[in-house]
Amino acid sequence: MYGLYRIVLFTIFDILKGLASPFFIFIFFIIYFQYYKKTEVPLKATIISILYGIVGGMIVTVALIYLKIYIIPLEYIYILITSLLLSIIDSRFICFSYGGSLLSLMSLVFHYPKINITELMIVISLLHAVEGVLILINGSSQKMFNIFNIKGQIKDGYEFNRFWPIPFVVFIGDTMIKPFLLFAILSYGDFTIGRFPRKKTLETSLMLLLYSSILFTITMISPYKFIAPIFSLLAHELIIFINIYRERSNLNSLKSIIKGVNVTGINSKGIGKELGLKTGDIIVRINHYHVKNSKDFIELSQKSFNKVKIEYFNHKKGLVKKKYRGKKNSLGIKIS
């Protein structure tokens, strides 16, 4: 127990020192930018993600020490850079299961870069076990109400977008006396149709914990090194496919209810007119703020804006997102 206490203590010190590094600051802005695109308070979401990520990093560090995993930091710098580049294509590709698996297969086929695939797959399985736990306790935080058009059916629900930077300490050398701080980034992008976001995060968490357990087992017992990275890549995509399939299969059993306020009139000099809102449209969000009823809207309609984003549902066009930038003006929208 005393040994575990010392490991945790030194891990905290190393992680706190690493938070001031230029590399971590770069990761901070990457995550902030992801939240900036999707949430109303990106700084708060980023700070909360960092705090949870530190706890996750401590868990990974302790597990690596007890499993006696020795790591070459250069391998993980390759993976992190690859993951960041892949995230430009789609934010979900920032997950290490993609960058790590692709580099492992490249190493097997082309013998470059040199990567210890067994240890890498163990780290990826541990990271996903931690991700499963983080989704369970923090996955529904900053969830966003949204309207989805799936197979021509309009349904409302929630969208999840969470990112956790995981700073973890590894040790180089046979005697494990040289600590080295590395960073991983875990992401959770998902959606659910209906009113049960906590149920969805619980299901996803359990699937990731199962995925992590199977990947760890395959890595430890399989004599063929290519099986683990292929499983890591395909099984991760399978989880995403299952989530989407389950939501689509539930379409017919869920009633379409769009929460918002009905537009009954438009002022000819207001922002609403300029953005093209019509009588009969349903306003669902203003500046990321979900407008559920007339009380929510009245608080916003009393203000003047020189920059505003309005999301509304039009029965012909579906969900429409419009931005206004210009002189300060009122919304000029009447509702029922």
Average pLDDT over residues 56-66: 86
- Residue 327 CA neighbour count, 13 Å, CB half: 4
Distance from C-alpha of 230 to C-alpha of 236, rounded to nearest angstrom: 10
Average pLDDT over residues 79-100: 83
Could you give the percent of the chain with pLDDT greater than 90? 24
Band (256; pLDDT cuts 50, 70, 90): low
Band (251; pLDDT cuts 50, 70, 90): low
Cis peptide before 113 (omega within 30 of 0): yes
> Considering the domain 261-335, what is its CATH architecture?
Roll (2.30)
227-249 and 96-110 helices cross at what angle (nearest 10)?
A: 140
- Are the C-beta atoms of 227 and 218 separated by less than 8 Å? yes
Of the ranges 116-120, 131-135, 172-176, 307-311, which one carries the lowest mean pLDDT score?
Answer: 172-176
The DSSP 8-state label assigned to residue 113 in this structure reads S
Instruction: Output the pTM of the full model.
Output: 0.73
Band (136; pLDDT cuts 50, 70, 90): very high
* Radius of gyration (C-alpha) of the chain in whole angstroms: 23
| Sequence spans of domains, the chain | 2-251, 261-335
pLDDT tens digit sequence for 169-185: 877 655 555 777 888 88
Distance from C-alpha of 80 to C-alpha of 185, rounded to nearest angstrom: 8
Band (149; pLDDT cuts 50, 70, 90): low
User: Which candidate, 35, 264, 281, 243, places its Cα nearest to that of 157?
Assistant: 243
